[in-house]
Chains A and B, each alone.
Chain A
Amino acid sequence: MSTAAAPAIVGSAVPQPYRVVSRRVDTADTVTIELAHDAGPLPAFAPGQFAMLTAYGIGEVPISLSGLPDPGDDRARRLTHTLRAVGAVTRALHATAPGATIGVRGPFGTSWDVESAAGQDVVIVAGGIGLAPVRPVLHAVLAGRARYGNVVLLVGARTPADLLYPGELLRWAASGVQLGVTVDRPADGWSGHVGVVPALIPHARFDPAHSVAFVCGPEVMMRFTAQALIERGLPASRLRVSLERNMRCGVGWCGHCQLGPLLLCRDGPVVDYARAEPLMSIREL
C-alpha cells in the first residue's frame, strides 16, 4: 500500500473544505461562485470536468467547472462554478454567502480536450445552464486565439432574463467570436432571434470539414443540435456533448451514472457524439 496515493483518495472520496470567496447573481435562479481552498488544493481541473459539491448537512451534487483558473497568481487553484437552484442541494449551494464553507471533491470526468481543436474552426452550442460547462472552452480558445480558426458561439435560453453572462457574451462578440443568441420566449424590447438554437446552425460561418463542436444543454436540445451540425457536414466523431446522469461516488465505483457501457463520471461527462448518439436514443437508458 502506497501512502503517495493518499491525497488523491482524500480529494476524490472525502470532500475538502473550500471557502466561497465571491458570489455573483447571474439570473433569478443562477449564481456563479468562486471557491478557494483552506487546506491543500485539489488537483487542477480541466475544462469539461466537474466537482462534487457538498452543502453540508444537505447533500452532494455534480457541478461542472465554469471558469478557467488564472494561472500564475495565487488564485490559480480557485474553482469557479455556475449553478442553478433546482432542488434541495442546488438551492442550498445557491444560497451560500461569501465566507461560507462548502465541500469539494474532484476533479472528475473527461475534459472537452480543447487542444484537439487547434488549427480548426471551433463551434460551441449551449442551451440554458449548458453555457456554464462550455465557458472554459471559450476562455481557453480566446487565450490562444491565433491557434484556432473561426470561433462560433450559439446560445439558447428560455427568456432574455435567463441568459447567462450577458456582459461576457458582448465582450466575446467584440473580440471576434461569431455570436448567435436565441430565446424561446422574447420579452418586450428583445430584438434578437426567437426560436430554437439548432435553427442558428445553418447560418453560422464555419467549415464543417475542419471544425470541432462542443455542445452542452438539455439532452433533447443536444440531439437536435447534433443533427443540424451533422447535416452541415460535421463528422459525429468531431462533435462532443456533455451528458448528465445522477451521480453519487464520481469515481466509477457505485454505478449510479451508468449509460449503457459508460460510467459517465469516469467515461464522461464529455463524450464524442459518435459514441453517445446510439446510447442517447435508447429509451431504457
Chain B
Amino acid sequence: MTGGVVSRVAALRFFAALNPRQLDQLCEAGTPMSYQPGERIFAEGGDADRFWLIETGSVALDVRIPGRGDQVIETLGAGAVLGWSWLHPPYRWQFGASARERLETIAFDGAAVRNRCDADPAFGYAMLRLFTPVIVARLQATRLRLLDLYATSAQVGRP
C-alpha cells in the first residue's frame, strides 16, 4: 500500500526535497482519497486532522459569509498541497474546501505526521521547510489581491 503512495507522491514535485527514508516515513501516514465534483472536503471551524496533496483536479477554498453563502477565495490545482492548520494548535480549519471537479489526492494524517516531526527533528525541519514557502506564497497572494491591482481609482474598495 505504502509503495503505491510513495510512487504517487514522488511523481509530484512538492515533496521532492525529502530523502527516500523521509518520503517513506511521510507516506506511512498517507492514504489515496478521491472526491466528486462539489463534494466538501472540510468545513470552516472543523477539526484540521489532515492535509492533502492534490494529484488531479482542483479545490476551492471558501469562507462562509452570512447572507452571501460560501464565497470562493482561492483555488488550488494539481501539485498543490491543501491545508496547513494541522500544523498548529488549535488544529481547526480557518476556511472551507470543496472539490471543483473530480479530485484525486493523497490525504495525510496530521497527528501522525506531527508525531513523526516531534520524534525526528530532522524530519520535522524538512517538513517545515516545505510548508513555510506554501504559507508565505499564499500570504503574498492574499496581500497582492488586497491591493486590488486591476481596479480603477473609482473602483477601489468596491466589490
Q: Does A196 contact B (CB under 8 A)?
A: yes
Please measure, in the bound complex, the distance between the C-alpha atom of A224 and the C-alpha atom of B142, giving whole angstroms: 13
Partner of B150, one of A158, A193, A224: A158
CB distance from A162 to the nearest CB of B (A): 7
Q: Which residues of B contact A143 (CB under 8 A)?
A: none
Dominant SS among interface residues on chain B? loop
Task: Tell me whether A195 and B74 are in contact in the complex, defined as CB-CB below 8 angstroms, given that A203-B79, A220-B144, A224-B144 are known contacts.
Answer: yes
Closest to B37 in A: A191
Interface centre among A195, A198, A221 (most CB of B within 10 A): A195
8 Å CB interface, A150-193 against B: 156-158, 162, 182, 184-186, 190-193
Contact B149 A221 (CB under 8 A): yes
Please measure, in the bound complex, the distance between the C-alpha atom of A128 and the C-alpha atom of B155, giving whole angstroms: 13
Contact A220 B153 (CB under 8 A): no
Interface size class of B (residues with CB under 8 A): 20 to 34
Closest to A203 in B: B77
Closest to A190 in B: B72
Contact B150 A220 (CB under 8 A): no
CB distance from B114 to the nearest CB of A (A): 27
Q: Which residues of A contact B141 (CB under 8 A)?
A: 195-196, 198-199
Contact A157 B78 (CB under 8 A): no
Query: B70-98, CB under 8 A of A: which get 1 and which 0?
Result: 01111101110000000000000000000
| Shortest 8 CB-CB contacts between residues of A and residues of B | A128-B150, A158-B150, A218-B149, A195-B74, A194-B75, A196-B141, A193-B75, A196-B144
Give the A-binding residues of B (Cβ under 8 A): 58, 60, 71-75, 77-79, 100, 137, 140-141, 144-145, 147-153, 155, 159
